[in-house]
Structure 1
Amino acid sequence: MALPQGFFHNLMDSITPWDSLAPLFLAFCGIFAWICFTKRRSNLPPGPPGLPFLGNLLSLDPELHSYFTSLSQTYGPIFSLRLGNKSCIIVSSPSISRQVLKDHDTTFANRDVPVAGRIATYGGNDIVWTPYGPEWRMLRKVCVLKMLSNTTLDSVYQLRRNEIRKAVGYLYSRVGSPVDIGEQMFLTILNVITNMMWGGTLEGDQRAAVGAEFREVVAQMTELLGKPNLSDFFSGLAWFDLQGVEKQMRSLARRFDKIFEKMIKLRLEKTNKDGSEQSKDFLQFLLKLKDEEDSKPPLTMTHIKALLMVLFSLATLIF
């Protein structure tokens, strides 16, 4: 059957141009996003209204504790915020906090691992980010009941004592002169941690060189861990790494890993040479524990590195 003359010309004329459809399409997308956002909020505790896609990101105050206190006076002791595509629940009541942290702690134990934290801890293989389960209980047992037990801490007492004496001696020598207490506390804590980790492995100039490198890397890593990252708020943007947080953290993590590899190699060589089983530092203790076969799931070398990493990060983060 032959088509009427001018059929295609008339058909093209009947199609509305895109520039006239664009405003309608954008309006439809906006309405759809608002409906989805409102529907999600309907299943959450009350909270301040937010924008589609962004949620409450633009309304956050840098003084979060004051900001959350003001919101609790309006929305009650438990309220919600929408940060990008992540829902956050804020609890400000002691009674509700007890239910979350104690009565129902296993329900709320798992955490959403940020990009920087996942890279820094070898994929979240540490006691902070590992999901609650057999592996987390094994790491908790290693940290609380063994590595941080009174017996183990007593074995590194002399290492801690020496660093504290050095810090007090430095402050005494600076009497009458200005001193950056925060900086000195950071250096003291870092020196104490490094000595407790492998104080029996390094000596003299080696220990000073490793400590200096750690000070540099830890400072940069701590900054990245506390930096707001769009990849954490919008999972669809994580692949693009718009702020470069992932790239920078991978570079720092590689430097940390090289140090860990060096320390582990030196500790194994020294242990094999001395033939001593007495724990002189945490690294020797962890390596000895890894070789025990009664741990299920087993403690791996990745776990050891991740534990060392998180102990450094947490110990120095407040400074």
Structure 2
Amino acid sequence: MVKVEAWQLTMHAATAQILVVPLLLLLLLLHYQLVVASRRRRRCSSSNDDSKQLPPSPPGGLPIIGHLHLIGDLPHVSLRDLVAAQDDNGGSGLMLLRLGAVPNLIVSSPRAARAILRTHDHVFASRPTSTVGDTILYGSSDVALAPYGEHWRQARKLVTAHLLTVRKVHSYCHARKQEVRMVMAKIREAAVAHTAMYMSETMNTFANDVVCRAVSGKFFREEGRNKLFRELVDTNSILFGGFNLEEYFPGLVNSLGFVTRCFPRNRQAHEAHKRWDELLETVIRDHESRRYSMYHHDQESDFTDVLLSVQQDYGGITRDHIKAILVAPTHHLWSWNSPWPS
């Protein structure tokens, strides 16, 4: 008889549990790939039209993952190398990559870019569905990720006509100068005290405070809101920029939604959405109370004030849409203004 210790049984059970998850996921992906391939074959066989020629794809595509393994840690460098190899073979400026189950069209010449962005712009106007975007941005109802349609046109008109006009940008000149003076004062204090300053952190904080002031006004430092804004923006960057399995295998969301909801990144997205909603609800309520204050004329007008004042002029723009529009510029403008990565 073989003697087996209890701790050995525990280790074997734990190892089995660890291996079950990736094996189950692999089986699910194989099943999904077979279903997609079967549907694609049925569509091709049932079509009476002449098959349209697809752009060339780089060699090395694999089952299930497609060309995902050809994209490294620096995607823009990987795409540049793939395009260069394609051009050496007489490429037309268009290249088809299959990242998982999703076809991606890579455009690399002025002529092809003109055809995509001008001639056929309405075909490519909508972005692919993003589970993270839907969760954080209230069903992707902001300007950047909203699908092409009436809501997108209304939101775009609102933003371009009231938020990002030249006059509105110039109106923040005084606020920007105040923030610059505060930064310079901190630098002078450090110089007098002969202490070192981490300039990347200082400039990132400055960019964050400028954007937060434009979004929520001069009260953005109350209760540490500016720090919370930056923390949530950093979280957004991680969630949007990370590897999201559902974006490469979108069929999993429809057929196996109960599984994808358990992914850590999806849980993090829901937690980030909850924190964003609480913060923006507080900001909006503060602005609503101050709008009726007798001292409101002495306060600087920010993005939140503008959105609340014109909401009734744009049918269908709800409170959640306003929150989504506020999250988007906070994330994108902060990213554009940051001189160095954090």
TM-score (norm 2): 0.74
Aligned residues between the structures: 285
Per the alignment, do residues 50 and 33 of structure 1 end up closer, same or farther by CA in structure 2, a change over 3 Å counting? farther
Residues 215 and 330 of structure 2 are in contact (CA less than 8 Å); yes or no, is this contact kept in structure 1? Answer: no
Tell me what 1:298 maps to: 316
Shift in Å at residue 270 of structure 1?
1.0
Tell me which of 206, 213, 220 is aligned to 2:228: 213
2:173 is aligned with 1:152: no
CA contact (8 A) 1:126 1:139 kept: yes
- 1:26 corresponds to: none
Whichever residue aligns with residue 252 of structure 1, its letter is A
| Compared CA separation, residues 100 and 269, structure 1 to 2 (3 A) | same
Q: Which has the larger radius of gyration?
A: 1
- The percentage of counterpart residues that share the same residue type is 26
CA separation of 1:287 and 1:69: change in aligned 2, threshold 3 A: same
Spell out, residue by residue over 1:9-53, the C-alpha distance to the aligned partner (whole angstroms, 9 max, x if none).
xxxxxxxxxxxxxxxxxxxx9x97897699799853111241111
> Hey, what does 1:23 align to over in structure 2?
none
What is the one-letter code of the residue matched to 1:119?
A: T
Segments of 5+ residues of structure 2 without an aligned counterpart are 1-30, 45-50
CA RMSD of aligned residues (A): 2.9
Partner of 1:285: 306
Q: Give the match for residue 67 of structure 1.
A: 78
Matched letter for residue 288 of structure 2: L
**Aligned position for 2:116:** 100
Q: Please say if residues 224 and 249 of structure 1, whose CA atoms lie closer than 8 Å, have aligned partners that are also in contact.
A: yes
TM alignment of 1:55-204, pairs within 5 A: 55-75=66-86, 76=91, 77-174=93-190, 178-200=196-218, 202=219
For 2:111 and 2:184, locate their aligned partners in 1 and report how far apart those are by CA, in whole Å: 42
State yes or no: 1:253 paired with 2:268.
no
- Structure 1 counterpart of 2:239, one-letter code: L
**Structure 1 residues 138 and 275, CA gap change in structure 2 (3 angstroms):** farther
Q: Could you list the runs of 5+ residues in structure 1 that have no partner in the other structure?
A: 1-28
Residue 185 of structure 2 aligns to a residue in which SS?
Answer: helix
1:134-156: CA deviations, max 9, x gaps? 22121111111221112322333
**Are the aligned partners of 1:229 and 1:243 in contact in 2 as well (CA < 8 Å)?**
no
Rate the CA distance shift 1:133–1:235 in 2: closer, same or farther, 3 A.
Answer: closer
Is the CA contact (8 Å cut-off) linking 1:224 and 1:245 kept in structure 2?
A: yes
* Aligned-residue offset at 1:314: 0.9
For residues 94-127 of structure 1, what are the alpha-carbon distances to aligned partners after superposition, in whole Å with 9 as ceiling and x for unaligned? 2211221233222211110321122111001010
Change (3 A) 1:32 1:276: closer
Identify the range of structure 1 (41-50 vs 130-139) with the bigger mean alpha-carbon deviation.
41-50
Alpha-carbon spacing, 1:166–1:235, altered in 2? closer, same or farther (3 Å): same
Deviation, 1:177, is 5.7
Query: How far did 1:288 drift?
Result: 0.5
